Amino acid sequence: MSSTDIKAVVQTVSNTKRPQWRILHSEASSGWGGQEHRVMAELSGFQNRGCSVWLLAHAQSQILPRAAAAGMNVRTCAFDRRLLPLDAVRLALWLRRERIQVVNTHSSRDGWLLGIAARLAQVPLLIRSRHIDVSYPNPRVSHHAFTTFADHVLTTSQKITDHFQQIFHLRDDQITTLPTGIDVLRFHPDGPQAELPVQRGPGAPPVIGMVSVLRSWKGHALFFDAIREIRSAGRDFQFVVVGGGAAVENYQALAQKHGVADSVHFTGHREDVPELLRALDVLCIPSIRHEGVPQIGLQALACGTAVVGSDCGGIPEIIQEGKTGRIFATGDVKAFAARIIEAIDHSENTQWMSQEGRRMVEQRHSLEFMLDRLAEIYQRYL
């Protein structure tokens, strides 16, 4: 029997010991970022564990074809508020017909729609996941989204959890902090490096980069200001910006406005994230708001890549100052630039932090750890 056959047998035996739940995730967003990655991670993880999984998403969303290509059951929805009563009834009938046991919603529109539908269908477990830290101007209404239409709330950072417990008065047993688990075999220090439009080889300047969706709160403008500070200090570094989501031309124009267009290489969206991270000397996460625990931070730690991040949101929960990386005060350009330089100049200390970061991800942030924690929550309610 080949090693592949043995693995298949072991997986089959393992799956027979686990509950075979019927799980639906919904996502109203049409983009492709950390939130959508989390949805796919949960769906594919439980699919591999022998569960039946479904995705409800917009027909034009980027996640829908990815889920279909992965062999998942998919269903489309327009998430039109005007159709909410009719769609809720239709979905309730469908949920009953498919005997769905777990519904997990991820955005506002699908949260309300599936919340109502799941209650009508008497689905045993309704989960509301929140990935970013935002304000709730009408907490009396929003409270129902996380209590009436949720049996349990999942967040990606302790800061979001604390905020929810403060404004919605959730008990400890009603909410769980669970960052997205990382595939520690795929995201590993050993492996090939991505091809980038930079100099490589002995004597080449260090490569500093951002890898994220192009969104205003990710801090690209701050990154460009830090580049200007680093250049003013006479340091010869190379800089790359990886990501899509918004027009790359807009961010190239922003770099031009900040006077550093000649120093930054833009790659657009890339799928080879582990290889990209291994090609960087320092990953920067200069977010200015809304941040939970960024997946790219955990992925970088798993790859042994040095990380410099702002103290925004849940970033310090994983980029622990002086232990797994370096932190600067959100918006402080001079401190940001100084921490990047420090990461390069104090290479032995940086290497030690990277090793600690890898160890932390293996112990508390692996994909299997996340799935096991989710299974415990499912089991508690089901």
Give me the domain span that covers residue 99.
3-181+366-381
Overall number of domains in the chain: 2
Rounded to the nearest 5 degrees, what angle is found at the Cα of 245, between the Cα atoms of 239 and 249?
60
19 and 113 inside one domain: yes
Reading the block at residue 189, the tokens are: 């220090």
Q: Is the pLDDT of residue 5 over 90?
A: no
Q: In this structure, are residues 67 and 75 in contact, taking their beta carbons and an 8 Å threshold?
A: no
Does one domain contain both 344 and 371?
no
Question: Does residue 21 register a pLDDT over 60?
Answer: yes
β-pair partners for 27? 57
Is residue 296 domain-shared with residue 222, that is, in the same domain? yes
Measured at the CA of 250, the angle between CA 245 and CA 252, to 5 degrees, comes to 110
pLDDT at 10: 43
Q: What is the sign, positive or negative, of the torsion defined by CA atoms of 213, 216, 217, 219?
A: positive
Q: Tell me, what's the pLDDT at 137?
A: 86
pLDDT in tens, 230-275: 999 999 999 999 999 889 999 999 999 999 999 999 999 999 999 9
Assess whether 273 and 137 both reside in one domain. Answer: no
The answer to the question of residue 212 being in a domain is yes
* 42 and 135 belong to one structural domain: yes
Domain with 288 in it: what CATH number? 3.40.50.2000
pTM: 0.89
